[in-house]
Amino acid sequence: MIKVDLKGNVKELEAGVTAAEVAKSIGMGLYKSACAARIDGKVCDLRTPLTKDCSLEILTFDDPDGKHAFWHTAAHVMAQAVQHLFPEAKFGIGPALENGWYYDIKVGRSLSTADFEAIEAEMKKLVKADEPIVRRTITVEEGREIFAGQDYKLELMEEYAAKGWELSIYTQGDFTDLCAGPHLMSTGMLKAVKLTKVAAAYWRADASRDSLDRLYGIAFPKASMLEEHLKMLEEAAKRDHRKLGKELGLFAFRDEAPGFPFYLPKGMVLKNTLIDYWREVHKKWDYLEISTPQIMKRTLWETSGHWDHYKENMYTTVIDGEDFAIKPMNCPGSILVYEMEPHSYRDLPLRYGELGLVHRHELSGALHGMFRVRCFTQDDAHILLGQEQIKDEVVRIAQLFDEVYSLFKLPYKIELSTMPDDHIGSKEDWDIATAALADAITSIGKTYDVNPGDGAFYGPKLDFHIQDSLGRTWQCGTIQLDYQLPGRFNLEYTGEDGQKHCPVMIHRVVFGSIERFIGILTEHFAGAFPTWLTPVQVEIIPITERAHEYARQLKAKLDEAGVRSEADYRSEKMNYKIREAQLQKIPYMLVVGDKEVENGTVSVRARKEGKGGTMSADEFVAQILDEIKNKEN
């Protein structure tokens, strides 16, 4: 007999019982909705036998890991459907994503959206058949026989075997895939499936290799959930920051500079207003702003470790016969600033803030509007401090993050990322750093999820995932605790004991990057930014030529008060001008005609209820200034 802890309820069960059998013993409802299991913290198949005392969680579609197993299974079902329709198909990889899955496939021709209906119909047949899914481990020799003719699978299998990994396959009906899992027990749970798009993708992201078709899809246990998701996608398409950025005149991209954004005049107002707010917040929280060079010598990047661990993402050049790199990160520059003068314990924590322009070589297929660019302004900060100050400083940073995200009404979750395989420094240092982050964040009543092995190469980190108005999550803020770089650069300070000590460094950003945060805010607010942030705050609309002079006086008054305004003097009809201003998402319109000129008033049309009506110009200025000062949303 073994003891199985089911969230505090300990049961004695026969050794060898599977997670699925335990779920069935609890209730058929749970068993039918179960997608995977978590055994002693590790996500596994429901078919996994329990052989010793352990903790067990049954994961449904409501759990992110349950969704992962659900969508991973759907990817296999889609591949099986493609195999039925295109027997010559060659299969690459088909991972689950945050929302759905994709599968890289090569057939005799390019697949298109015209193929979706037939593939979906075949998938529905496979779901209706409720094929059981069977897992087994194989040898390399067996794999070579099973995947004969599937060159991509054979390549992956040989790599996995060379690394000493267990080779496992999953079979449903006439389809077998090389896969680590986990998967559902059968295909029947996939009640609603939908293919969403197709794109080209190079095998192993290598432009010199085969081009495959990447088929994306989504699936749910209920048709109603799919309908809700498709409505969300429709709304997201309306909010697409690339579309709105063009319509609102904020930013643009050109073929002459792929991945490098062009800020248009209104976009610069938006960017600078966001930066002004960043400076305001960081001054309040005692940061010192610095600016460091764009290009620095290779030797610096070798010392930092970036040349060995990040070179493929760096742009390099040669100056006077020496190798230089355009900075992909700001941290080494902050270290050089720290080195310029001696420090004592009285100086710490020393908080450097930098709006540093960084460049990273991203694959062209990964570029995505403002979300993934090759050049961006990182709202960085690097904090040098003593080890005993870590907890208080992390708490302080988390409070700053909370202030910023609350202003934009962006709830968030925190994720603790731990030591990756490709790391520098000892495991002991990593354990100390990881525990320090966890202790700090729990001390202020915050919770976190663990993301194993996803830390930066120099230290663990806390990632802040914000949620926008459509419920989508974005990783923005991060707090990275670094015991490595200060030591690599031999940084020191004089301690209270008069001895030399090496400081710890915290790397942190709150927006993530100005560009990405602008993209997120554009979609979050659907382009209708809060008045304090929006590029044009007031549109003045004179409805007669006689009102033009009054409109100019109003604009001068608003300019003097620091309110961003435009006046539309075109000889168009009033309703046309109003509609144009609405499409530009301008929060206030001042409609003025002969009556307003005579009375010295303005007729205010406001985006928000309760802000409009007829009032004096001075009353309106006072109202909007109060809204801007308080940064109302």
Q: Which of the residues 84, 461, 501, 577 is marked catalytic?
A: 461
Q: Which of 271, 374, 382, 516 is catalytic?
A: 382
Whole-Å CA distances, 503 to 291, 338, 387, 464, 481: 21, 11, 7, 25, 11
Annotated catalytic residue within 378, 484, 537, 584: 378
In whole angstroms, give the CA distance from residue 285 to residue 597.
47
Tokens of 628: 């801007």
Dig out the tokens for 473 from the structure. Answer: 């999550």
Set 360, 374, 508, 605: catalytic member: 360
288-289 and 350-359 strand pairing: parallel
Cβ neighbours for 520, distance < 8 A, ≥ 6 positions apart? 241, 371, 466, 468, 474, 476
Tell me how far apart the alpha carbons of residues 463 and 482 are, in angstroms, rounded to a whole number: 15
360 is catalytic: yes
Do 375 and 367 form a contact (C-beta atoms < 8 A)?
Answer: no
Told to judge if 461 belongs to the known catalytic residues of this protein, a careful annotator would answer: yes
Catalytic site includes residue 380? yes
Whether 511 contacts 476, CB under 8 Å? yes
Ramachandran assignment for 331, one of left (phi > 0), alpha (psi -120 to 50 degrees), beta (any other): alpha
In this structure, the number of other CB atoms found within 10 A of the CB of residue 265 comes to 9
Residue 136 annotated in active site: no
Q: Under a CB-based contact definition with an 8 Å cutoff, are residues 383 and 506 in contact?
A: yes
Please, what is the Cα angle at 449 between 438 and 377, to 5 degrees? Answer: 80
Catalytic residue among 115, 177, 213, 380: 380
Is residue 378 part of the annotated active site? The answer reads: yes
Distance, CA of 471 to CA of 469 (rounded, Å): 6
Residues belonging to the active site = 331, 360, 378, 380, 382, 461, 507
